[in-house]
Amino acid sequence: MAIMLGDNQYGKAETRVVRTVRDTDRHEIVDMNVSVALAGDLSDTHLTGANDKVLPTDTQKNTVFALARDGIDSAEDFGLRLAQHFTGGQRSIDRATVTVQEYTWTRHGDHTFSRSDGGEHREVTVVNDNGASDVTVGLRDLLLLNSTDSEFTGYIVDEYTTLAPATDRILATAVTADWHFSETDVDWTKAFETGRTALIEAFRDTYSLSLQQTLYAMGAKVLEDLPEVDRVTMSLPNRHHFLVDLEPFELDNPGLVFHAADRPYGLIEGTVTRK
Protein backbone atom coordinates (compact mmCIF):
# COMPACT_ATOMS: atom_id res chain seq x y z
CA MET A 1 0.00 0.00 0.00
CA ALA A 2 1.40 3.39 -1.04
CA ILE A 3 1.17 6.21 1.49
CA MET A 4 1.80 9.84 0.65
CA LEU A 5 1.44 13.28 2.15
CA GLY A 6 -1.50 15.33 0.90
CA ASP A 7 -2.22 19.05 1.06
CA ASN A 8 -0.96 20.65 4.23
CA GLN A 9 -0.41 24.01 5.85
CA TYR A 10 0.57 25.36 9.24
CA GLY A 11 0.50 28.67 11.01
CA LYS A 12 -0.34 30.77 14.03
CA ALA A 13 -4.02 31.04 14.84
CA GLU A 14 -5.83 33.89 16.57
CA THR A 15 -3.18 36.41 17.42
CA ARG A 16 -5.04 39.23 19.15
CA VAL A 17 -3.60 42.63 18.29
CA VAL A 18 -4.91 46.02 19.39
CA ARG A 19 -3.43 49.05 17.64
CA THR A 20 -4.04 52.55 18.93
CA VAL A 21 -3.51 55.81 17.06
CA ARG A 22 -2.37 58.55 19.44
CA ASP A 23 -1.28 61.30 17.05
CA THR A 24 -3.83 63.70 18.59
CA ASP A 25 -5.84 63.87 21.82
CA ARG A 26 -8.66 62.07 19.98
CA HIS A 27 -7.43 58.49 19.81
CA GLU A 28 -8.43 55.72 17.40
CA ILE A 29 -8.43 52.00 18.13
CA VAL A 30 -8.22 48.91 15.91
CA ASP A 31 -8.94 45.50 17.46
CA MET A 32 -8.18 42.40 15.39
CA ASN A 33 -7.84 38.65 15.66
CA VAL A 34 -5.28 37.51 13.06
CA SER A 35 -4.69 33.94 11.87
CA VAL A 36 -1.89 32.94 9.49
CA ALA A 37 -1.56 29.68 7.52
CA LEU A 38 1.48 28.94 5.33
CA ALA A 39 1.94 26.28 2.64
CA GLY A 40 4.69 25.35 0.19
CA ASP A 41 7.80 23.15 0.11
CA LEU A 42 7.21 21.71 3.56
CA SER A 43 7.13 17.96 2.99
CA ASP A 44 10.42 17.32 4.78
CA THR A 45 9.16 18.42 8.16
CA HIS A 46 6.29 15.91 7.93
CA LEU A 47 8.31 13.05 6.47
CA THR A 48 11.67 13.39 8.21
CA GLY A 49 11.19 15.98 10.94
CA ALA A 50 13.60 18.42 9.29
CA ASN A 51 12.63 22.00 10.16
CA ASP A 52 15.04 23.96 7.96
CA LYS A 53 12.16 25.23 5.77
CA VAL A 54 9.80 26.01 8.64
CA LEU A 55 9.18 29.58 9.79
CA PRO A 56 8.19 29.13 13.45
CA THR A 57 4.62 30.00 14.31
CA ASP A 58 6.00 32.17 17.12
CA THR A 59 7.81 34.20 14.46
CA GLN A 60 4.54 34.55 12.57
CA LYS A 61 2.93 35.96 15.73
CA ASN A 62 5.78 38.42 16.18
CA THR A 63 5.45 39.48 12.53
CA VAL A 64 1.80 40.38 13.11
CA PHE A 65 2.80 42.66 15.99
CA ALA A 66 5.75 44.19 14.15
CA LEU A 67 3.75 45.07 11.03
CA ALA A 68 0.95 46.45 13.20
CA ARG A 69 3.50 48.92 14.58
CA ASP A 70 3.74 50.49 11.10
CA GLY A 71 0.00 51.20 11.16
CA ILE A 72 -3.21 49.51 10.02
CA ASP A 73 -5.16 51.33 7.33
CA SER A 74 -7.77 48.58 7.02
CA ALA A 75 -8.16 44.87 7.72
CA GLU A 76 -7.77 44.20 3.99
CA ASP A 77 -4.58 46.22 3.60
CA PHE A 78 -3.09 44.64 6.73
CA GLY A 79 -3.92 41.14 5.49
CA LEU A 80 -2.38 41.90 2.10
CA ARG A 81 0.82 43.21 3.71
CA LEU A 82 1.16 40.15 5.93
CA ALA A 83 0.48 37.63 3.14
CA GLN A 84 2.93 39.34 0.79
CA HIS A 85 5.55 39.48 3.55
CA PHE A 86 5.42 35.73 4.17
CA THR A 87 5.48 34.64 0.51
CA GLY A 88 8.04 37.27 -0.49
CA GLY A 89 10.43 36.63 2.36
CA GLN A 90 10.62 32.82 2.50
CA ARG A 91 11.62 30.65 -0.46
CA SER A 92 9.89 27.60 1.00
CA ILE A 93 6.53 29.38 1.30
CA ASP A 94 4.37 29.51 -1.84
CA ARG A 95 1.02 30.39 -0.32
CA ALA A 96 0.02 32.47 2.67
CA THR A 97 -3.54 32.73 3.93
CA VAL A 98 -4.28 35.51 6.39
CA THR A 99 -7.67 35.76 8.08
CA VAL A 100 -8.46 38.94 9.99
CA GLN A 101 -11.45 39.30 12.27
CA GLU A 102 -12.05 42.95 13.16
CA TYR A 103 -14.07 44.05 16.18
CA THR A 104 -15.74 47.45 16.38
CA TRP A 105 -15.50 49.66 19.45
CA THR A 106 -18.09 52.37 20.09
CA ARG A 107 -16.64 55.78 20.92
CA HIS A 108 -17.70 57.59 24.11
CA GLY A 109 -15.16 60.40 24.09
CA ASP A 110 -11.68 61.22 22.88
CA HIS A 111 -10.16 58.10 24.45
CA THR A 112 -13.06 56.04 25.86
CA PHE A 113 -14.62 53.11 24.01
CA SER A 114 -17.00 50.22 24.68
CA ARG A 115 -17.52 46.88 22.98
CA SER A 116 -19.93 44.05 23.69
CA ASP A 117 -18.40 40.58 23.68
CA GLY A 118 -19.34 38.53 20.64
CA GLY A 119 -21.84 39.89 18.18
CA GLU A 120 -21.28 41.24 14.72
CA HIS A 121 -17.76 41.55 13.37
CA ARG A 122 -15.95 41.97 10.08
CA GLU A 123 -13.87 39.15 8.59
CA VAL A 124 -11.26 39.39 5.84
CA THR A 125 -9.39 36.52 4.18
CA VAL A 126 -6.36 37.25 2.02
CA VAL A 127 -4.56 34.53 0.05
CA ASN A 128 -1.24 35.25 -1.60
CA ASP A 129 -0.34 32.35 -3.89
CA ASN A 130 2.99 32.71 -5.70
CA GLY A 131 2.69 36.48 -5.62
CA ALA A 132 -0.95 36.76 -6.71
CA SER A 133 -3.36 38.09 -4.10
CA ASP A 134 -7.00 37.13 -3.61
CA VAL A 135 -9.33 38.97 -1.19
CA THR A 136 -12.62 37.92 0.35
CA VAL A 137 -14.44 40.27 2.74
CA GLY A 138 -17.48 39.66 4.85
CA LEU A 139 -19.17 39.80 8.20
CA ARG A 140 -20.37 37.46 10.91
CA ASP A 141 -23.46 37.57 13.13
CA LEU A 142 -25.25 40.53 11.61
CA LEU A 143 -28.59 40.17 13.41
CA LEU A 144 -31.59 41.16 11.28
CA LEU A 145 -35.32 40.93 11.98
CA ASN A 146 -38.47 41.84 10.07
CA SER A 147 -41.58 41.87 12.27
CA THR A 148 -43.83 41.35 9.21
CA ASP A 149 -43.72 41.07 5.39
CA SER A 150 -42.73 37.42 5.62
CA GLU A 151 -44.69 34.23 5.02
CA PHE A 152 -44.07 30.56 4.37
CA THR A 153 -46.72 28.55 2.53
CA GLY A 154 -47.06 26.06 -0.31
CA TYR A 155 -44.35 23.67 0.91
CA ILE A 156 -44.32 19.86 0.68
CA VAL A 157 -46.66 18.18 3.16
CA ASP A 158 -46.08 14.52 4.00
CA GLU A 159 -47.02 12.16 6.84
CA TYR A 160 -44.52 13.82 9.19
CA THR A 161 -45.43 17.45 8.50
CA THR A 162 -46.91 19.35 11.45
CA LEU A 163 -45.86 22.90 10.52
CA ALA A 164 -48.82 25.18 9.87
CA PRO A 165 -48.63 27.66 6.97
CA ALA A 166 -47.63 31.17 8.03
CA THR A 167 -48.97 34.19 6.15
CA ASP A 168 -47.57 36.82 8.52
CA ARG A 169 -44.52 35.85 10.52
CA ILE A 170 -41.39 37.28 12.10
CA LEU A 171 -38.30 36.65 9.94
CA ALA A 172 -35.01 36.81 11.83
CA THR A 173 -31.50 35.65 11.07
CA ALA A 174 -27.83 36.06 11.99
CA VAL A 175 -26.08 36.73 8.69
CA THR A 176 -22.75 35.23 7.74
CA ALA A 177 -21.74 36.70 4.38
CA ASP A 178 -18.58 36.82 2.27
CA TRP A 179 -18.09 38.77 -0.93
CA HIS A 180 -15.16 37.93 -3.20
CA PHE A 181 -13.32 40.70 -5.02
CA SER A 182 -12.11 40.32 -8.60
CA GLU A 183 -9.46 43.02 -7.99
CA THR A 184 -7.38 44.41 -5.12
CA ASP A 185 -7.27 48.11 -6.01
CA VAL A 186 -10.26 48.90 -3.82
CA ASP A 187 -11.33 51.46 -1.24
CA TRP A 188 -11.77 48.74 1.37
CA THR A 189 -13.54 50.76 4.04
CA LYS A 190 -16.10 52.15 1.60
CA ALA A 191 -16.60 48.74 -0.02
CA PHE A 192 -17.29 47.05 3.30
CA GLU A 193 -19.84 49.66 4.32
CA THR A 194 -21.47 49.39 0.89
CA GLY A 195 -21.71 45.60 1.15
CA ARG A 196 -23.10 45.68 4.69
CA THR A 197 -25.67 48.34 3.77
CA ALA A 198 -26.73 46.34 0.70
CA LEU A 199 -27.44 43.27 2.83
CA ILE A 200 -29.55 45.25 5.27
CA GLU A 201 -31.48 47.13 2.58
CA ALA A 202 -32.29 43.96 0.63
CA PHE A 203 -33.48 42.21 3.79
CA ARG A 204 -35.63 45.24 4.64
CA ASP A 205 -37.12 45.73 1.18
CA THR A 206 -37.85 42.11 0.21
CA TYR A 207 -41.32 40.76 0.92
CA SER A 208 -40.15 37.29 1.86
CA LEU A 209 -41.92 34.17 0.66
CA SER A 210 -38.97 32.10 1.90
CA LEU A 211 -35.59 32.75 3.47
CA GLN A 212 -34.06 31.32 0.30
CA GLN A 213 -35.68 34.11 -1.71
CA THR A 214 -34.34 36.67 0.76
CA LEU A 215 -30.82 35.20 0.53
CA TYR A 216 -30.84 35.61 -3.25
CA ALA A 217 -32.12 39.19 -3.00
CA MET A 218 -29.39 40.08 -0.49
CA GLY A 219 -26.62 38.59 -2.63
CA ALA A 220 -27.93 40.25 -5.78
CA LYS A 221 -28.02 43.64 -4.05
CA VAL A 222 -24.36 43.33 -3.02
CA LEU A 223 -23.41 42.49 -6.63
CA GLU A 224 -25.43 45.43 -7.94
CA ASP A 225 -23.80 47.89 -5.55
CA LEU A 226 -20.23 46.53 -5.73
CA PRO A 227 -19.15 46.01 -9.37
CA GLU A 228 -15.73 44.81 -8.22
CA VAL A 229 -17.31 41.79 -6.49
CA ASP A 230 -17.93 38.62 -8.52
CA ARG A 231 -19.73 36.39 -6.01
CA VAL A 232 -21.42 36.50 -2.63
CA THR A 233 -21.71 33.49 -0.31
CA MET A 234 -24.13 33.52 2.61
CA SER A 235 -25.28 31.38 5.50
CA LEU A 236 -28.61 32.38 7.06
CA PRO A 237 -29.89 30.49 10.09
CA ASN A 238 -33.63 30.91 10.54
CA ARG A 239 -34.04 32.31 14.04
CA HIS A 240 -37.53 30.92 14.54
CA HIS A 241 -40.13 32.96 16.42
CA PHE A 242 -43.21 30.92 17.26
CA LEU A 243 -46.55 32.47 18.17
CA VAL A 244 -47.37 31.59 21.79
CA ASP A 245 -50.71 29.90 22.45
CA LEU A 246 -52.45 32.08 25.06
CA GLU A 247 -55.87 30.38 24.83
CA PRO A 248 -55.29 28.42 28.10
CA PHE A 249 -55.30 31.83 29.80
CA GLU A 250 -58.40 32.97 27.88
CA LEU A 251 -56.31 35.50 25.97
CA ASP A 252 -56.03 36.01 22.24
CA ASN A 253 -52.67 36.52 20.54
CA PRO A 254 -53.05 38.45 17.28
CA GLY A 255 -49.37 38.29 16.33
CA LEU A 256 -48.13 39.98 19.51
CA VAL A 257 -46.32 37.46 21.72
CA PHE A 258 -43.68 35.06 20.38
CA HIS A 259 -41.28 32.46 21.72
CA ALA A 260 -37.77 32.91 20.29
CA ALA A 261 -36.49 29.36 19.79
CA ASP A 262 -32.81 28.57 20.15
CA ARG A 263 -32.52 25.20 18.38
CA PRO A 264 -33.04 23.32 16.20
CA TYR A 265 -33.12 25.89 13.43
CA GLY A 266 -33.37 25.99 9.67
CA LEU A 267 -30.11 26.83 7.92
CA ILE A 268 -30.21 28.37 4.45
CA GLU A 269 -26.93 28.63 2.50
CA GLY A 270 -26.10 29.73 -1.02
CA THR A 271 -23.88 31.66 -3.40
CA VAL A 272 -25.00 34.38 -5.81
CA THR A 273 -22.65 35.03 -8.74
CA ARG A 274 -22.38 37.12 -11.86
CA LYS A 275 -23.05 35.35 -15.16
117 and 160 share one domain: no
Q: What is the CATH number of the domain that holds 44?
A: 3.10.270.10
Residue 206 lies in a domain: yes
State which of 130, 164, 195 marks the end of a domain: 130
- Angle, alpha carbons 51-52-58 (nearest 5°): 65
151, 169 contact by CB (below 8 A) = yes
Q: Are residues 82 and 24 in the same domain?
A: yes
Same domain, 107 and 157: no
Of 97, 130, 163, the residue at which a domain comes to its end is 130
For residue 117, being part of any structural domain is answered with yes
pTM of the complete model: 0.93
| pLDDT recorded at residue 119 | 86
Print pLDDT tens along the chain (275 aa).
Answer: 899 999 999 999 999 999 999 999 999 999 999 999 999 999 999 999 999 999 999 999 999 999 999 999 999 999 999 999 999 999 999 999 999 999 999 999 999 999 877 689 999 999 999 999 999 999 999 999 999 999 999 999 999 999 999 999 999 999 999 999 999 999 999 999 999 999 999 999 999 999 999 999 999 999 999 999 999 999 999 999 999 999 999 999 999 999 999 999 999 999 999 98
Q: Is residue 165 part of a domain?
A: yes
- CB-based contacts of 39, cutoff 8 Å, min separation 6: 7, 8, 9, 93, 94, 95, 96, 97
Tens of pLDDT, residue by residue over 33-81, are 999 999 999 999 999 999 999 999 999 999 999 999 999 999 999 999 9
Claim to verify: residue 149 and residue 269 sit in the same structural domain: yes
What residues act catalytically? Answer: 12, 57, 240
Quick check: is 137 in a domain?
A: no
Q: How many domains does the chain have?
A: 2
Residue 119 lies in a domain: yes
CA-nearest of 235, 236, 257 to 170 is 257
Q: Are residues 217 and 123 in the same domain?
A: no
Is 200 within a domain? yes
In a domain, 136, yes or no: no
User: Using CA atoms, how far apart are residues 29 and 16, in angstroms rounded to an integer?
Assistant: 13
3-state SS, one letter per residue, for 71-92:
CCCCHHHHHHHHHHHHHHHCCC
Instruction: Indicate left, alpha or beta for 41 from its phi (over 0: left) and psi (-120 to 50: alpha).
Output: beta
Q: Answer left, alpha or beta for residue 130, where phi above 0 means left and psi between -120 and 50 means alpha.
A: left
Q: Is 114 in the same domain as 170?
A: no
For residue 8, being part of any structural domain is answered with no
Residues 190, 81: one domain? no
pLDDT for the residue numbered 115: 86
The whole domain housing 61 covers 15-130
